Structure 1
């Protein structure tokens, strides 16, 4: 443990090590956006611009990082974001990540596009597990996936609405990224020069979309199955479809991918229990605002009692505090969990969560915040939730 602390005391160290251990076509998919990738940079840089005011006339030497959402207690106000293609980015990482989340009592959100199924991951994540749902444009498939998620034990659905159509991500076009990977000479050379990743593929197998594989055309190849997924997983989630999913799902529903305050109010009116303010990691529209830009406006629009989460660009416990100060009740963190898994292996997610908790506690102590609820009073930027 001491060795890990010295080698990887922060996310930036894990990110550097991950880049060395991942083939370029995989790493590019992980870090990339689209266009000039301004939105990816904006997410990180806008958080860095958020200032917090330290205060010392208080007794917050042992801050409490716990939060409660919908009656469930979590040890920290951050969760594992849905990680699509995680089993390709670092093969075999999905089960350890879910287990680490449960071990630290933080929430874990499983992606529809994960490479391990809801039936596999829910027992590992336990009651901390949520399911992120990309509704297919096939009504029977949609209904069956919701039934499967309920039977697996998921109580919270994260309905993601911000992928209405395929995007053009230039890094992936240049690399020819596909599932299964296109094994041309350039790709083979990258794999050969990154043996740790290649060995993990051999150990865990070529990944596929296990949540979607029951619906593939019978006898379809991996390539044909991937085309099928691309065909059925597109289309706008209209107000009518949102209401239908709300009626079909008996548990809690978050709507993820919300940036416009008026739409935020509309989703609540349609029955959403909470929202996740997100621009999809800067991967959908390069001109989109960041969560930092829109979160205070959405909080002001919906009021103090609305349950609002946010993601985008979070790389530290300090960033967690910044986002909560802007108005979030909890935040989601994605890319750093792949960095940690690639850099460290099985124990990467456990190490990362420990680091984030320690950084958050240190930040709260400096701010004089005894609890997470105190963080908005520390905001010292033009952004405001008042």
Structure 2
């Protein structure tokens, strides 16, 4: 909020069912004991609708319940949770950024090495990333510390260690504040920029309507409006919409009740275009004689090292000098020739003048 700043509400897990999740942009779960099926259903609906969810692990987390109610292909958990791992070294594991172009991974990768080395993890929950989960930060043990998973229009961030200093010293380090600030900024759901994808279903909030009312929905592939029945999703009245075409979907305003406009885009993740490793590409192209420059560092240096053939700069310079000398010789030759012809013409003219003078005398 531009006037009041960020509003934070601390909610006891026992009172979570009384909250209207649609009123929040981001929900943070800190070492919550268990997740009931009903709570899991509400969290899934919240994330799929564009909300952000951050989960911190801890000694109270029941991994089996998390996996059962929030995990799986139809769930929102970025990884399958396992047992708690404890570092044998009292100092703990160090952190390192995973190979990812994600914002939070990039922040960790650019963090000063000495400061990053000061961060230590003594305990964490072992985890196996989901197929569509992304590892952002790992521990020295090789296990993920921070994972991300996008589902529907929202995103879930999972810390496999605690949000306090029980299992790490992260909260006393500047990186902790940086990560949380950027995470909340990234996860903040703004209805004006809500991203919906073709091929998915969503329940759009319709203010001022009652359950059972009909709203007029205008689709991008039709000039006429469709009547959609308003339902209740426990938190608020919504209109269920299936996005079959990319474009603008509009719920029309009626009798002073506000309308809603959203855009559905094609999901780029459905493309099978992937970044190919240099070694794999080299193996594929080697039989047809194509050489792949596969090395780290500036591409200019790789091209120069792999270049074959002769350097033409010296040869061209030599040819230019030869042409210049030849031009000078030819210029001198033709200049001398012109001078000789002019001298001969002058002698003939003088002789003719002398003959004419003799005749007159």
TM-score exceeds 0.5? no
Structure with the largest fraction of helix: 1
Q: Work out which of the two has the higher radius of gyration on C-alpha atoms and give 1 or 2.
A: 2
| TM-score, length of structure 2 as denominator length | 0.26
- Flag the structure with more relative contact order, 1 or 2, with Cα contacts below 8 A and sequence separation at least 6: 1
| TM-score, length of structure 1 as denominator length | 0.24
Structure with the largest fraction of strand: 2
